[in-house]
Amino acid sequence: MRGPHNIWRLVRTGATLERTGAMAAVLDAFDAPAPLRVAARVLGWPFKWLGYEGDPNVPPATRALTALGPAYIKFGQVLSTRPDVVGEEMAAQLRILQDKLPPFSIELAKETVERELDVPADDLFSEFSEPVAAASIAQVHKARLRDTGEVVAVKVLRPGVEKAFRKDIDAFYLAARMAELLSPSSRRLRPMDVITHFEGVVSGELDLRLESASASEFAANTKDDAGFQLPEVKWMHSGRRVMTLGWAEGTALGDNAALDAAGHDRVALSERVLQLFLNHALRDGFFHADMHQGNLKVAPNGDIIAFDFGIMGHIDEYTRRVYAEILFGFIRRDYKRVAEVHFEAGYVPSDRDVDEFARALRAVGEPIFGMDATRISMGRLLAYLFEVTERFGMETRTELILLQRTMVVVEGVARSLNPRMNIWKVAQPVVEDYIKKSIGPRAVLRDLSKTALVVSRFGPRLPQLVEAALIRQAEPPPSDSRNPWIGRLSWMAGGLAIGVLAGLLPFLLN
C-alpha cells in the first residue's frame, strides 16, 4: 500500500547501507564527490542502528543488497556486469547476486510443486536435487522426469517473494514522488513512469506461466540463429509458481578460467553475445532483457545457451528503426543525422538547436572510435551523456528503458570476456544489415503492402458505408462546396484500388 509510511523503508535502506559498511564502498566505487560523501554520512550515520545487519560473511555491498530484498538485488545484478563503472572488485562482489543467494529448503520447493501442479513432486520426478542456483526471485533444482528419464531444470518461486517486491516497489514510488517534488529538474527523467515500468516488468517475472510463454516465443524467433540454444519448455510440468525446462549443460559465461580450460574462444563469444542481442532487438523486436552472466552458459560445442526468461523486452517496428538509425549514425560518425533522428522521433524538444545537439553527440561518440575498451571510462562517458540529455531537455523514454538497460548489461558481459572489444565495430554488420532490410526501397514496399491490406479489409463493408453516407447527405449540400459524400466515395474507391494493389505487392517483392 503506497503512502508516507514508506518513508520508513527508505530510511532503513540508508541505515542498512551504513550499518553493513556498504555506504562507503558504494561511494568509493562511483567516485562520489566530497559533498555527496558528507551528506550521505550525515544522513545515514544517526540511523545506523535501524539498518539490517545482513550476513557478515559476505562483502559489504552484497551483504546490504541481500538484506534489503529482491528489488535491491536486481539493481546489484545490473551493476555486477559493469566493472568499468563500479570497479573490478565491486563487480566481482556483486556477481554473487546473480545465482548464489541463500536458498530455501528442498521441502518447501517440493510443497510448491505439489500445490501448483496438483501432483506430489516425487510422482513427477524420480530425482530432485538440492538447489543448484538461487537468485532473487526463484531457485533452480536439477531433476529427472519419472516418465521419460529426461534431465530437467525445475524453477520454483521463493515463498513470499510477491509480498517482498510489493513492499519495495511501494517505497520506490514514494522515492520517485519525493524526487519530483524536491528536484523539479528530475521530472524530465519521469521517475514515476520509470517505477511504473519496473513494476510491470516485475509483475510479469512473478508469474512463471508468462515466462514459459516468453521462452516459447523466443525459441520460435531464434531457432535458426547459429551458435545459440534455448532449453525446451515442459508445459505439462509448469504453472504459475513452477517452470520446468530442459537441462542446459555448459560452462558459466562468467567463469573465464573455466572457459579457457574448455578451449572456448572468448573473443568470438564476446562478439557473438553482443550481435545476438542486437539481432533479437532489431530483427525480432523481442529480446532477452536479463542477459547477465548468471543467465548464460557455453555448451561444449561452443554455442551460447540462454535461460531465465522472466524479463523480456519488446519494441515496436518504428522504435526499432529509430534505434537502428541512431546506432548506424554513430557507427558512420554522422552526428548530424543522429541528432536529426532524435528530433524526428520527438526525443528532443523541437525548439532546441539540432546543430548544437549534433556537436554534443560528437563529444560523446568521438572518444570511443579507434580505442579499445580498456581505454574508455564508461562511467565518465555515461556521466557526460547524462549532462547532454539534461541540457537539451530530453525526457526518459519508458519504452526504451529495458533496451537501454540490456544494452549496458550485454556490453558489460562482452567486455568481461574481451576487455579490448570495440562495441561499434562488432555492432556494425548487424546494424547495417537491419538498415538495408528495414529502411530501403523494399521496406517501403512492404510498409505500403501492410497498409493496403488493412485498408482493403473495409472492402466488404463498402456498400453499407456508401449507403450510410448517402443517407447522411440526403439534405441539400452547402452551396460553397461539393457534396462531402463524393469525397467519401472517392476515398472508398481508393481503398478498394489499394486493396487490389495489396494483392499484387507480395509478387512484386519476391
Which residues are tagged catalytic? 290
Q: Which residue has the cell 519476391?
A: 510
Q: Tell which phi-psi region holds residue 77, choosing left (phi > 0), alpha (psi between -120 and 50) or beta.
A: alpha
| End-to-end Cα separation, the chain, in angstroms | 57
Q: b/e string for 161-199 if b means 16 or more Cβ within 10 A?
A: bbebbbbbbbbbbbbbeebbeeeeebeebbbeeebebbb
Q: What is the DSSP letter of 233?
A: B
Q: Which residue has the cell 528419464?
A: 149
Question: What size, in residues, is the chain?
Answer: 510
Angle between helices 401-417 and 423-438 (to 10 degrees): 140
DSSP-assigned states of every residue in 59-121 = -HHHHHHHHH-HHHHHHHHHHTT-HHHH-HHHHHHHTHHHHBSPPPPHHHHHHHHHHHHSS-H
Nearest to 293 by CA among 77, 29, 61: 77
Rounded Cα distance, 364 and 326, in Å: 13
Contacts 24+ apart (CB under 8 A), 139-148: 139/103, 139/104, 139/109, 141/106, 141/109, 142/247, 143/244, 145/234, 145/237
Identify how many contiguous H helices and E strands the chain contains and give both numbers.
Answer: 24, 10
